[in-house]
Amino acid sequence: METAAAGDLPLIIRLINVGLIIFLAWLIYRLSWRLAGLFLRFYNFSPSHLPAHLQHHTGEEGVSKLIARLVDWLPGEIIDVAPPHEQRQQTLQEIISSAISVIAFVLAGLAILGQFAPMSTIVTVTGLLISALAFAGRTVIADYLAGFGILFQDQFY
C-alpha cells in the first residue's frame, strides 16, 4: 500500500494539517505544567505515602502485608527518599514544563516544514544545524546540563 507524499496533497489539505499541528503543539504547551507535575510526582515517589491510599482500598491486615512485601521489594535508595522542598519542586516543574514546550514546538516546526519540503532535505538541514549549534555552544550546554544535575541531585537544599 503506497502513501501519498506531502507534496502530492492539495494545498488546502496541507494548510489544514499545519493548523492541526499548531493546535496540537499549543495543546501540549498548555498541558506542559501538568505533565511536568505528573513526572515529578513519580520522580519523588515515597512508600510513606502508600499506607493511607492502600488502607482505603483494602483491609487493615491486607495493607500491612502488602506494604511489607513492597518494602522488601523496593531498593534502599527508593525507601529513603526525603520529601522535596517546595521551591525546588516548583523550579524543577518549571524546567520540565519549559523543556516539554520547546520539544513540542520544535517537533511541530519540523512537521510543518515536512508539509512543504521533502523529508530528506529537512533531516539533512536539521542535522547540520544541530551539529553547528552543538559545537558553537558546547560550554553553555555543559553548564546547563551541570545545572540540571545539581537540581535533580538536591545538592543545595
Q: Where are the domains of the chain?
A: 8-44+84-153
Lowest model confidence (mean pLDDT) among 77-86, 97-106, 108-117, 143-152: 77-86
Q: Helix 119-136 to helix 86-116 angle, to the nearest 10 degrees?
A: 140
Instruction: Provide the whole-model pTM.
Output: 0.62
Please check whether residue 21 is in contact with residue 113, taking contact to mean a CB–CB distance below 8 angstroms. Answer: no
> Per CATH, which fold does 8-44+84-153 belong to?
Helix Hairpins (1.10.287)
pLDDT in the model for residue 2: 44
pLDDT band at residue 90 using 50, 70 and 90 as cut-offs: confident
> From CA 75, how far away is CA 51, in angstroms rounded?
18
The pLDDT tens digits of the residues spanning 119-128 come to 899 889 999 9
Region 34-57: mean pLDDT is 66
Joined together, the cell numbers standing for residue 98 give 519549559
Joined together, the cell numbers standing for residue 150 give 545539581
Please check whether residue 50 is in contact with residue 83, taking contact to mean a CB–CB distance below 8 angstroms. Answer: no
Please check whether residue 21 is in contact with residue 118, taking contact to mean a CB–CB distance below 8 angstroms. Answer: no
